[in-house]
Amino acid sequence: MALVRRAIDEDVNLFEGAQLQVTSERDLFESGLLPMRTPAEVYRRIVLDRLPTFVREEAGYLLAAAPVRAGGREGVVTVPVTLRREESERQIDDLDRQVLSAAVLFSLLFGAVGYGMAERIADPISRLTRATRRIARGNLDARVAAAASDELGRLINDFNGMADELKRQRIELERTQRLEAWADMARQVAHDIKNPLTPIQLSAEHARRVNIDHGGPLSPVLDDCINTILSQVRLLRQIATEFSSFASTATAHPAPTLLTELLDEVVGPYRSGLAGRIAIDVRVPDDLPVIQVDRNLLARAFTNVIENALHAMPGNGRLTILVRRVSAPPPRGESVVIEMTDTGIGMDPESIARLFEPYFSTKAAGTGLGLTIAKRNIELNGGMIEVHSQKGVGTVVTMTLPVGP
């Protein structure tokens, strides 16, 4: 209004319907000297009679009015001018021009504001549409930058969140499909391996007994061959067992479990067999809560992680098992964290990225299913597993389990 007043050098009022909307002489209206409603004669002439302009003389001043339409809205512009009676006729034409100029300025201002608002709304929607099309074509990396925090900004943030969730679900679906394919192959391999093992073992043991019954004429060559055969049979049985375990559809049966007792059962057999070579240090707090887990699945996961750590320390080393409680806001809540740290050879980033893939192994021997099974068993118990490693330093395997059911 100040801009329009400077342009025509007169005060300007804008009415919409029967009510004043905005004015350049705000003080007069707020003080009550001028009414806030549209002058009746102006309303009748401009709104009802649809005159292009209207001028009438009030007490001590002229009042000129004209309609203004912009952005789908209609209003009335009035320009009051205080004049001496003898000057009224001379300035009527000037007032008409000023009112028309004010109407044009209002139209231009409304148009500029409308264009700016349209651009502000249309540009994010256009970007959102293009990103939606890219996602429909399979590009789940499409994102839209949110430039504001209004409703459109929230819509864009929700869209980006939806894209992230779709990408996560596709990765999980692909992983599930790969696991199912690998499980089918493992089931077939386990079946094919187990069938010939029993006759091979029985034949080797029979040959050894026959040799002993005849006084061992073929010893020690036959004994060495038979021992090699039997040791390889045991290795093949172990591999077949791992294949069968991976191929089976495990179901967790949670029960109250003391983690301290479970770790003692798992670690105990290793202490005596590794004495003097590998030091095992277990640190468990006294106030550790009872957790709801499947004891057998969790024990198998711990065993597989420990076996991997021992293979990474072919000479001497130390395996540290640290247990601690962690509290977090809902919905995560309280959890128990088990960290198994070895001083082995460590792994490079490429190996860590593929660590949980079936049949991937950094060892010369083995099926590459140990950590895959450990990850599955931990997740079946509602937990998660992470691995951090540094080449030549060692590896840290972190397993997090919820305390609640």
pLDDT at 95: 75
CATH topology of domain 255-402: Heat Shock Protein 90 (3.30.565)
Which phi and psi angles does 404 have, rounded to 5°?
Answer: -75, 175
Q: Which residue ranges make up each domain of the chain?
A: 2-114, 151-247, 255-402
User: Which of residues 9 and 325 earns the better pLDDT score?
Assistant: 325
Is the peptide bond preceding residue 217 cis, with omega within 30 degrees of 0?
A: no
Confidence of residue 374 (pLDDT cuts 50, 70, 90): confident
Is the pLDDT at 135 greater than 50, yes or no? yes
DSSP letters for 139-194: -TT-------SSHHHHHHHHHHHHHHHHHHHHHHHHHHHHHHHHHHHHHHHHHHHH
Of all residues in the chain, the percent with pLDDT exceeding 90 is 14
pLDDT tens for each residue of 68-99: 887 778 888 888 876 554 455 566 777 777 77
pLDDT at 363: 60
Is the pLDDT at 116 greater than 60, yes or no? yes
Inter-helix orientation angle 151-213/88-136, to 10° = 10
- What is the DSSP-derived secondary structure letter of residue 37? B
215: tokens are 């006084």
Is the pLDDT at 200 greater than 90, yes or no? no
Region 30-57: mean pLDDT is 85
Using alpha carbons, list the distances in angstroms from residue 53 to 76, 103, 256.
10, 10, 88
CATH code for the structural domain at 2-114: 3.30.450.40
pLDDT at 231: 77
User: Which of residues 263 and 10 earns the better pLDDT score?
Assistant: 263
Average pLDDT, the chain: 80
255-402: same fold as 2-114?
Answer: no
Confidence of residue 202 (pLDDT cuts 50, 70, 90): confident
